[in-house]
Structure 1
Amino acid sequence: MTRRTPPGFNDAMTLPAGLTTRPLAVDDAAGVAAILAAEQQRDLGLVSIEEADVVADWRRPSLDLAARTLAVLDGDELVACAELIGPDRAHAGVAPAHHGRGIGTYLAAWLREKARSVGSPSVGMPVPEGSPGDRLLESLGYHVRWTSWLLALPEGRAVEPQPLPDGYAVRTARASDHRALWTVVEDSFLEWSVRDRQSFEDFSAQVMGRPGFERWNLRVVEDEVGEVVGAAVVHLSADVGYVDKLAVRRDRRGRGLGRALLADAFVQARRRGATRSELATDSRTGALTLYRRVGMEVTAVWVNRAVDLDGARTPPRQA
């Protein structure tokens, strides 16, 4: 059943006549990916989203699609979407053909109300820097929490060998390594990301449960006694090898393990047909210089904009 205004929403905010809403459903994954891809193509001249990204994210046991998502429809056509994917993290998109109709403003207001309903002090989302979405959120009082960069190792550029210290080795993760890999990744990411620890079940759904997952997608560094001390997650999409996660245990840093994992991820993807290698990082990690040092180039810049829901400019929660 569709409705004009979702329950609990500010009735002063309405959609253009003829549009209806409902929660997103699993069958909407392709439509959501298409909307986000169309916006990226228009704003950036490239696309870094695919349906598998949406499906993997929606497979997390913690995500309640019915309670935390919104679809905007023009008849049977999905024209916009919004998701509260964490207490203060959101995604939203409007099909470019429907821009300028106030739908983005409506989605931003819906997300604020939804975040308030779960007790979040703030809510934010990523948008390409300088894009219509960026300008809209700025006009609504959203400030920049952090900046993100998409980087690429250009086609044809050599992957320089990155030797490991004696006793260390890079290999494909075994099923018995999965929890250790998750621990290394979460421990590393929680050093700079202020959020709750992602459960192993959610991690598994996003990574091992991603459509097209293969064993080689998980790379680990083991030490002299076989303990996992570094990890990388790499996806292959058409001719692009994308390094989704890269982490080294804190007490083993400064030994070149991260560079070795990165080079290995590039090589593994190239062996399977990738001609281009990509990854993303943001200003919280301090890793931009490392990636540039191995020959990667910035291809797109995003900002994560957020608004404080209590009206005070307190330090925002990061996720």
Structure 2
Amino acid sequence: MKTDYAKLTEQALLDCLPGLNCRERVLIESMKYSLEAGGKRVRPQLVFEFSRLCGGSDDAAAPFACAVEMIHTYSLIHDDLPCMDDDDLRRGKPSNHKVYGEDIALLAGDALLTLAFETLSSDRAAILSGNRACRLAAKTLAAYAGANGMVGGQVIDLKSENTNAPLEVLREMDYKKTACLIKAACELGCIAANADDEQRKAASLYGECIGIAFQIQDDILDRTSTDAELGKPVGSDVENSKSTYVSLLGIERCRELVDELTQQALEALGAFRADTTELKNFALDLAKRTN
């Protein structure tokens, strides 16, 4: 029977949260609100899938999957703030700051960021994967999520508003803002299973390709979807005068790029001896997603 990684992730995330019997209860509730908001759980699934591919266990991969999803969730809370993208909806629900206020939303994001690394360094993670794996996972996630990774990409994104950013700037922005955390998830799965360097490199290439394809597909959907289908406001890229793949290359060329990058991702899986069907289907499904 196929494992429901989304359900597994959601239960594991709740198990990581601090208890509500405290003076800062509203903070924990705010963190829980965004963690429970749903979504495709793309990054945790990649952790689990690559761990399985390298012979690891779901129990050992779970702290790594939770950590990367906490980082992703904190980034969404901050992205929606008025000082960033100023979005009122996230996954079809009011954004965190619309429910809890900007101050608590900001702090909830901060708390999720720190909880991610607490989870990676927990005794349970060390027992299941080993101290070396936990240290390597923390280093990898910090690098891909930090100033030269996801956060750096967000800065490039903000500074590119109301400008005609060229394609090379857009590619760097999307690599850092989106692909880096997806690469991290793929590599963390390998690390959780103590895989070798060749497997980590192949997983990293797969993650980079589907990460860029994921962002290009996002740009396409921002032009072609509806608020109801996407679960967040569409057309925000146009309203914010952002350069996107669609604005620079057109929708048809963007669709071709998604297909090309997906094919590169599939070829990267050739480095693994185990059955890669699930990851192949995963990449193909992302390329065809409508929300």
| Greater percentage in helix | 2
Fold match by TM threshold 0.5: no
TM-score by length of 2: 0.29
> Of Structure 1 and Structure 2, which has the larger fraction of its residues in strand?
1
Tell me which of the two structures has the higher relative contact order, counting C-alpha pairs closer than 8 angstroms and 6 or more residues apart.
Answer: 1
- With the length of structure 1 as denominator, give the TM-score of the two structures: 0.27
